[in-house]
Amino acid sequence: MRVLIADDEPLARERLAALVADAGSEVVASVENGEQAVQEADRLRPDVCLLDIRMPGLDGLDAARLISALTDPPAVIFCTAYDEYALKAFDAHAVDYVLKPVRRERLEQALSRAGRLGANKVDKVAGTLGPHRQRSHICARVRGNLVLVPVQDILYLQAEDKYVVVHHTKGQVLVEDALKGLEDEFGDQFVRIHRNCLVARERMAGLTRGNDGRVFVRIDGSADVLEVSRRNLPGLRKLVRSL
């Protein structure tokens, strides 16, 4: 069996790799965060992913959601030291997990019965852990590779034809989500300024009025100026004043 290991602690990775090797499986990748786990899972197509839950940036649960949404996804087994809430959620939805320090027999058992885990099942677990759990990253595909953009790095989202362009601090990517869906999910972090545009509240630098009376939003960390529609202007004024 080909196994991918994701844990932010080097010694934990080392031990897990040794145990997986003892169990007669092959470690194809050993990565230190959720982003790398998703990218490597997409690239190397392992049979099983062993994911630590608490990792900086993209955590194990979010990574599992993205991995389970890949075509022909690998099985996911969670690894955790102590997560009262997560353990209850796993038991409730029959998701497999191993506890740290991991026992060899337990790991072998988990590997041998590793079933495919549907994305909807991981969604359910995440739903039990927090009623309004938002994604921490947005996932896009650039020239065949997966790219993960942390939501906190997003400057603004602009709808174009069938896609939404995600403008973030390090460039821009296309995603297939609908702008409305993104607004529903991240409504507390973004504000609508136009029929086709959502701006991150934290990134709004202020409003400017053009010579022709149109109003624009200035964005922190970007030279772009975005037009505000007449309909969204009153609400936006109020928001800017309260910032």
Partner 1 sequence: MAIAERPAARSAVTDSAHHWLPNFCSWPVLFALVVIGELVALVVVLAASDTRIPSWQTFGTASLFVQWLAVVWTVSLCKARPLLLRLAPWMAEFAAYSLMLATTAAASWVVFAIDRNLNLGFIDATADQWRFVLRNSVICGLIGGAVLRYFYVQEQWRERVHAEERARFDALQARIRPHFLFNSMNVIASLIRARPAQAEAAVEDLADLFRAALGREDARGTLGEELDLARGYLRIEQLRLGERLRVDWQVDELPRDLELPSLLLQPLVENAVYHGIQPLPEGGVVEVFGSSDGVIVEIRVRNPCPPPAARRGTGNGVALNNIRSRLALHYGERAALLSDDQAGVFECLLRVPLQR
Angle between helices 10-22 and 104-112 (to 10 degrees): 70
The distance of closest approach from Cβ of residue 58 to partner 1 in the complex, given in angstroms and rounded to an integer, is 9
What is the rounded CA–CA span in Å between residue 117 and residue 123? 11
Which residue's CB is nearer to partner 1, number 151 or number 228? Answer: 151
Q: Does 169 bind partner 1 (CB under 8 A)?
A: no
The distance of closest approach from Cβ of residue 132 to partner 1 in the complex, given in angstroms and rounded to an integer, is 8
Which residue's CB is nearer to partner 1, number 191 or number 228? Answer: 191
Q: Does 30 bind partner 1 (CB under 8 A)?
A: no
Strand locations in 14-91 (E): 26-31, 48-52, 75-80
User: What is the three-class DSSP state of 139?
Assistant: strand
The footprint of partner 1 on this chain (CB under 8 A) covers a number of residues equal to 31
Q: Does 133 bind partner 1 (CB under 8 A)?
A: yes
What is the rounded CA–CA span in Å between residue 148 and residue 191? 22
Q: Does 124 bind partner 1 (CB under 8 A)?
A: no
Cα within 13 Å of Cα(176), Cβ side: 2
Of 80-88, 116-124, 207-215, 231-239: span binding partner 1 (CB under 8 A): 80-88
The distance of closest approach from Cβ of residue 56 to partner 1 in the complex, given in angstroms and rounded to an integer, is 4
Q: Does 8 bind partner 1 (CB under 8 A)?
A: yes
What is the rounded CA–CA span in Å between residue 107 and residue 221? 47
Q: Does 21 bind partner 1 (CB under 8 A)?
A: no
What is the rounded CA–CA span in Å between residue 239 and residue 224? 20
Instruction: Identify the DSSP state of 133.
Output: P
The distance of closest approach from Cβ of residue 210 to partner 1 in the complex, given in angstroms and rounded to an integer, is 31
The token duo for 80 is: 């955790």
Cβ(118)–Cβ(27) under 8 Å? no
The token duo for 236 is: 């936006």
Which residue's CB is nearer to partner 1, number 11 or number 223? Answer: 11
CA dihedral 199, 205, 210, 216 (to 10 degrees): 10
The distance of closest approach from Cβ of residue 220 to partner 1 in the complex, given in angstroms and rounded to an integer, is 13
Of 51-59, 66-74, 115-123, 190-198: span binding partner 1 (CB under 8 A): 51-59
What is the rounded CA–CA span in Å between residue 36 and residue 49? 12
- Options 25, 33, 39, 68; binder of partner 1; rule CB under 8 A: 33
The 204-243 contact track toward partner 1, x by CB under 8 A, reads: ----------------------------------------
Cβ(49)–Cβ(60) under 8 Å? no
Q: Report the interface residues with partner 1, using CB under 8 A.
A: 8-12, 14-15, 18, 33, 54, 56-57, 59, 81-83, 85, 99-102, 129-133, 136, 150, 152, 189, 202
